């Protein structure tokens, strides 16, 4: 933190967090309005992996009068979150920026850019790679002459959205480590020493984040978790080391 910056109290931190959350919610609300206008087209696009995985004779249904309406509201909210994600990242940056050095605050653009790219990469990985075989297994493996899959549109959409957001957030791990390393909260040595615990926690997280208990979905979630933990060690070593050098240089100049 720069010497010019005034320390914030706990209440001020809470107030700042509340302000950033409100701005983020307003951004989502603004994006929700145009998203709802295209909600039916968005639903067809989002649900395509599930629809393509349905066995012959199966279809999506809704069983409650308002389920169709609430499902399209969910689609619109999901699309609004995606559209507003860069702005939400900016608000997150504004919240953590006071804890950074002046020269570190200049990386706001790379932070937002890579945060958006990583989230999009995680969502795309889920949509194109992880979800299709998982849906094929879940919807076809247990179907028979007497058993047919007829998932409701609300449950299917909620299931898929949780998968997409889960993968999107997992892909943000290197960026999170980058910020923590710049703040001096974590370093590569700590991450390496805690690797065995990270493997255990990753397995538990894969089971919790994945909204199903099948091994296919869990493995597709677990592998990126482990890979990104190793990538996080590299990120912490590169950027954490630079921060230590910067601090040392600043100490030398003050002596």
CA–CA separation, 46 and 37 (whole Å) = 15
Q: Is residue 121 part of a domain?
A: yes
For the segment 79-89, what is each residue's pLDDT rounded down to a tens digit? 999 999 999 99
- 138: enclosing H helix or E strand: helix 131-140
Tell me the CB-side half-sphere exposure of residue 117, using CA atoms within 13 A. Answer: 8
Which range is least confidently modeled, 109-113, 118-122, 165-169, 214-218? 214-218
Q: Is residue 145 part of a domain?
A: yes
For the segment 87-128, what is each residue's pLDDT rounded down to a tens digit? 999 999 888 888 777 777 777 888 899 999 999 999 999 999
**CB 122 within 8 Å of CB 167:** yes
Rounded to 5°, the CA angle 129-115-99 comes to 150
Query: Which two tokens mark 165?
Result: 């957001």
In 133-177, the DSSP E strands lie at none
Q: Is residue 254 part of a domain?
A: no
- Give residue 183's pLDDT: 75
Q: Is residue 158 part of a domain?
A: yes
- 59: enclosing H helix or E strand: none
- Give residue 36's pLDDT: 96
- Which among 70-84, 122-136, 217-231 has the top mean pLDDT? 70-84
Q: Is residue 41 part of a domain?
A: yes
For the segment 177-188, what is each residue's pLDDT rounded down to a tens digit? 888 887 778 889
Q: Is residue 205 part of a domain?
A: yes
Q: Is residue 251 part of a domain?
A: no
- Give residue 82's pLDDT: 93
Q: Where does the pLDDT of residue 211 fall: very low under 50, low under 70, confident under 90, or very high at 90 and above?
A: low
H helix runs in 97-130, sequence order: 108-125
Tell whether the model's pLDDT for residue 56 goes beyond 70.
Answer: yes
Domain extent at residue 205: 10-242
Q: If you average pLDDT over residues 11-24, what whole number do you get?
A: 92
Structure letter (DSSP) for residue 152: B
Q: Where does the pLDDT of residue 7 fall: very low under 50, low under 70, confident under 90, or very high at 90 and above?
A: low
Q: Is residue 117 part of a domain?
A: yes
CA–CA separation, 90 and 108 (whole Å) = 8
CA–CA separation, 92 and 169 (whole Å) = 14
CA–CA separation, 169 and 68 (whole Å) = 28
In the chain, the number of structural domains is: 1
Question: Phi then psi for 53, rounded to 5 degrees?
Answer: -95, -5
């Amino acid at each position: 933190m720069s010497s010019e910056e005034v320390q914030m109290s706990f209440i001020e931190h809470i107030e700042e967090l509340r302000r950033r959350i409100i701005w983020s919610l307003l951004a989502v609300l603004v994006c929700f309005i145009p998203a709802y206008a295209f909600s039916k087209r968005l639903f067809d696009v989002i649900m395509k992996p599930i629809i393509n995985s349905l066995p012959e004779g199966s279809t999506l249904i809704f069983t409650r009068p308002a389920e169709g309406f609430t499902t399209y509201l969910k689609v619109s909210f999901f699309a609004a979150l995606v559209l507003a994600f860069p702005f939400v990242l900016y608000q997150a940056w504004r919240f953590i920026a006071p804890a950074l050095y002046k020269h570190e605050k200049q990386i706001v653009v790379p932070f937002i850019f890579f945060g958006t790219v990583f989230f999009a990469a995680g969502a795309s990985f889920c949509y194109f790679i992880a979800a299709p075989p998982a849906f094929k297994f879940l919807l076809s493996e247990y179907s028979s002459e007497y058993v047919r899959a007829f998932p409701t549109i609300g449950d299917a959409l909620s299931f898929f959205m949780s998968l997409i957001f889960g993968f999107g957030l997992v892909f943000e791990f290197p960026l999170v480590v980058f910020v923590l390393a710049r703040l001096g909260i974590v370093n590569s040595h700590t991450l390496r020493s805690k690797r065995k615990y990270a493997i255990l926690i990753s397995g538990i997280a894969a089971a919790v984040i994945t909204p199903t208990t099948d091994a296919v979905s869990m493995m597709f979630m677990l592998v990126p978790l482990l890979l990104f933990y190793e990538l996080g060690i590299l990120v912490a070593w590169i950027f954490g080391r630079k921060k230590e050098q910067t601090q040392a240089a600043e100490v030398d100049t003050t002596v």
